[in-house]
Structure 1
Amino acid sequence: MNPESKKQLNVILLGVAFMFMFTAFQTCGNVAQTVITNLNDTNFHGSGYTSMAIIYGVFSASNLISPSVVAIAGPQLSMFFSGIFYSIYIAIFIEPSTWSFYTASVFLGVAAAILWTAQGNCLTINSNENTIGRNSGIFWALLQSSLFFGNLYIYFAWQGKTHIAANDRRTVFIALTVISLVGTVLFFLIRNPQDLNTEEGEISGGADNLVEPTSDQSKMTRAADAFKSSIKLCFTKEILLLSITTAYTGLELTFFSGVYGTCIGAVNKFGAEEKSLIGLSGIFIGIGEILGGGLFGLLSKSHHFGRNPVVMFGIIIHFIAFYLIFYNMPNDAPIASMRGTDHIAYMEPSKEVAIFCSFLLGLGDSCFNTQLLSILGYLYAEDSAPAFAIFKFIQSICAAVAFFYSNYLLLQWQLLIMAVVGFFGTISFFTVEWEAPAFVARNIDYSSI
């Protein structure tokens, strides 16, 4: 197997590891509030919403230091230890206590920042300008498979249950913890591309590809440089423009992962299926994500298409979804009480339209995220960790803001905010894509500024 094939194998292993981890974590997130509700009559008094706020808040702040951590530990170890904290958070639910739940939320926020910065770095160093689009699509499709498997479990295993007994809870979260640990261990199978280049150099008799050992002093220097690069990159034209697109992904992430499921579950017109439809909605979001990741990964093999048509397709798909949701869902659905809402929007609520919109939300999201991963890896191939840290910093802040206002704004205003930010985010992405070749040609290294 040649070094290029081994790098592609690294990308596949990266995607499979994330698929296992987030099958466990996203399933945990989907059932957490239901489980917590059944625990509130005990000594446990935690809140899933408070935990989410802690995670996103710490996640945002920790993106300032995550490039330095990745520079010192390397992407492989960074992802492994981050995976351990994801597993600990899930394991807390086996025998939950309030203090351990919130403490684990803090550590998970830090781990998430390091994990995603290391993921972006790992994806970039295993790609080049010809393969970054394809590899982004492969990774995204594998990652989003977690939405399918986790929600499929919710739909079938807990259908019709109104109370989650302690034995049911322990069985589920022991299994989820094991699944998360399997994904964490898979990070050790990813080989360092520098080792692959060394093997290639030894075979060809060349010496240019040999990598000298890195001293502790040089690691600290790299960590400091990574931190300075993160600050300086924040104020560059390309990052400022892409920040609008990134902000949109944070807003719509909150909508499809939290708000839309709540809307479906609140519509009393859906009858006894309203709660199980939440799981089915998650499955179709996952199908859209997987299809989009795989399709756009294949299309990216040809530079004839470029990134802009994919992003244009994504925003059109999302605008269609927003329009249908506006017509199908009652305006008060996001903030309805526990009793749900009997109101009707501009049409009789349709289960089929609701699930079709779930698919469109997932498909459109894959368009934006695969192309953002691709363009960041292309523009910052030599300095990827700070760039991906800024990406996650902006995305997580906007997601936290969206989680906050989702408790108060009617559906029409939430859709309007996403439509406006999505429109300007698409325009800004187009601008960066048009100027990308000139930017790369200048070969700017912000770490040396």
Structure 2
Amino acid sequence: MGIRWNSPLAQVIAVGFICFCCPGMFNALNSLGGGGQIDSKVGQNANVALYTCFAIFGLLAGAIHNKLGPKWTIFLGCATYVLYAGSFLCYNHTKNGAFTIAAGGLLGVGAGLLWTAQGAIMMAYPREHDKGKFIGYFWAIFNAGAVLGSVIAIAINNKVVVAQSLGDSTYIVFISLMAIGTLVALSLCPPTSVARSNGDKIQIQAFPTWTGEVIAVMRLFLDWRMIVLIPMFLSSN
């Protein structure tokens, strides 16, 4: 018997593949240093913009996810990865660093959306005794993306003997894979149609007001259990 597309396992695997294509390729691109450019300054500035926006929108993304649902939240998040990789392809020809830095900022917004939706799916869809297993599946698939992306970069540029920026073909491959992941996001099922193997439906909490969301986030940071976790947040990523 095959896996139903609206099963928690299929949805987690789909999200794993999406992250394989988008954050996975981003990790491979970032590991090259400066986004694969000889002059790493633009890539470094893009990362500053990225993680600044990521930190801010990581707090707000939960409210957006609650309003849009996982499919559109992940789709919008993934689209910013395509733009980010495309900005380096553009930089190869125009040297327009401002566009790349702006794309980095937008990626910070998109990453906040994507990872918030990913976390919600990982915690809400599997049954309690399946969560560890499903999380393992996700991270194995996701990290394989960075491995493949690095292999692609090596394979395309292995004959380069003089230091230079990545060629257009490498960026185009990354952009294409990210675009595939973005399109796959549109196939995700709404939580209301996801059914566990025992027939249980996913419990969806009614969307509160935007004001209620902001107040809930602020209250969360007054919880001592959240406060003691902050040092681990800073050290882990």
Give the TM bin, normalised by the shorter chain: 0.7 to 0.9
Cα offsets for 1:332-372 (capped at 9, x unmatched): xxxxxxxxxxxxxxxxxxxxxxxxxxxxxxxxxxxxxxxxx
Q: Does 1:116 align with 2:115?
A: yes
Q: Is the 8 A contact 1:67 1:223 kept in 2?
A: no
Is 2:213 aligned against 1:226? yes
Distance 2:101 2:35 in 1: 17
| Unpaired stretches in structure 2, ≥5 consecutive residues | none
Task: After TM superposition, list the pairs within 5 Å mapping 1:210-289 onto structure 2.
Answer: 219=207, 221-250=208-237
Output the amino acid matched with 1:169.
G
CA shift for structure 1 position 242:
2.8
Query: What does residue 188 of structure 1 align with?
Result: 186
Residues 405-442 of structure 1: CA deviation (Å, up to 9, x unaligned): xxxxxxxxxxxxxxxxxxxxxxxxxxxxxxxxxxxxxx
Aligned to 1:189, what secondary structure does the other structure show?
A: coil
Using the TM superposition, give the Cα deviation of residue 9 of structure 1 relative to its aligned residue in structure 2, in angstroms: 1.0
Instruction: Compute the TM-score of the two structures, normalised by the length of structure 1.
Output: 0.46
Preserved CA contact (<8 Å) 2:50 2:108: yes
The aligned residue for residue 103 of structure 2 is: 104
1:178 to 161, 173, 176: 176
Q: Which residue of 1 aligns with 2:57?
A: 62
Out of 38, 41, 47, the position equivalent to 2:42 is: 47
| Residue identity matched to 2:44 | Y
Larger radius of gyration: 1
For 1:183, give the aligned amino acid.
G
Q: Relative to structure 1, is the Cα distance of residues 222 and 128 closer, same or farther in structure 2, using a 3 angstrom cutoff?
A: farther
Give the TM-score normalised by the residue count of structure 2.
0.84
How far off its partner does 1:197 sit? 4.4
Q: Does 1:23 align with 2:24?
A: yes
Aligned positions of 1:4-403 closer than 5 A? 6-31=7-32, 33=34, 35-37=36-38, 47-96=42-91, 97-159=96-158, 161-164=161-164, 169-197=167-195, 219=207, 221-250=208-237
Aligned length: 231
Whole-Å Cα distance in 1 between the matches of residues 115 and 145 of structure 2? 16
Relative distance call for 1:211 and 1:66 in structure 2 (3 A) is closer
Return the offset for 1:155: 3.6
* TM superposition shift of 1:16: 1.1
RMSD: 3.1
Contact between 2:4 and 2:10, CA under 8 Å: does it hold in 1? Answer: no
Q: Deviations over 1:14-69 (max 9, x none)?
A: 111111113321222233527432xx6xxxx9522111111111111112211111
In the alignment, residue 54 of structure 1 is paired with which amino acid?
A
Post-superposition Cα deviations, 1:81-132, rounded to whole Å, max 9, x if no partner, equal 1101110110112222122111111111111111111110121221232111
How far apart are the structure 1 equivalents of 2:210 and 2:123? 18
Identity within the alignment, % = 17
AA matched with 1:6: S
Contact 2:70 2:190 in 1 (8 A): no
SS at match of 1:162: coil
Q: CA deviation at 1:224?
A: 3.4
| Distance in 1 separating the partners of 2:36 and 2:134 | 37
| Alpha-carbon displacement from aligned partner over 1:184-212 (angstroms, at most 9, x marks no partner) | 111222222321349x87xxxxxx96999
The CA deviation at 1:241 is 2.9
**Partners in 2 of 1:184 and 1:234 — Cα distance?**
32
Between the aligned partners of 2:4 and 2:164, the Cα distance in structure 1 is 50
Q: 1:52 to 1:211 in 2, by over 3 A?
A: closer
Amino acid in the other structure paired with 2:43: G
Between the two structures, name the one with larger relative contact order (CA 8 Å, sep ≥ 6): 2
Q: Mark the CA change 1:210 to 1:95 in structure 2 (over 3 Å): closer, same or farther.
A: closer
Consecutive unaligned residues in structure 1, runs of 5 or more: 202-207, 251-449
Residue pair 1:125, 1:193 contacting (<8 A) in 2 also:
no
Deviation at 1:150, TM superposition (A): 1.8
Counterpart Cα distance in 2 of 1:107 and 1:210? 31
Aligned partners of 2:201 and 2:37: how far apart in 1? 54
Measured in 2, the distance between the counterparts of 1:69 and 1:77 equals: 10
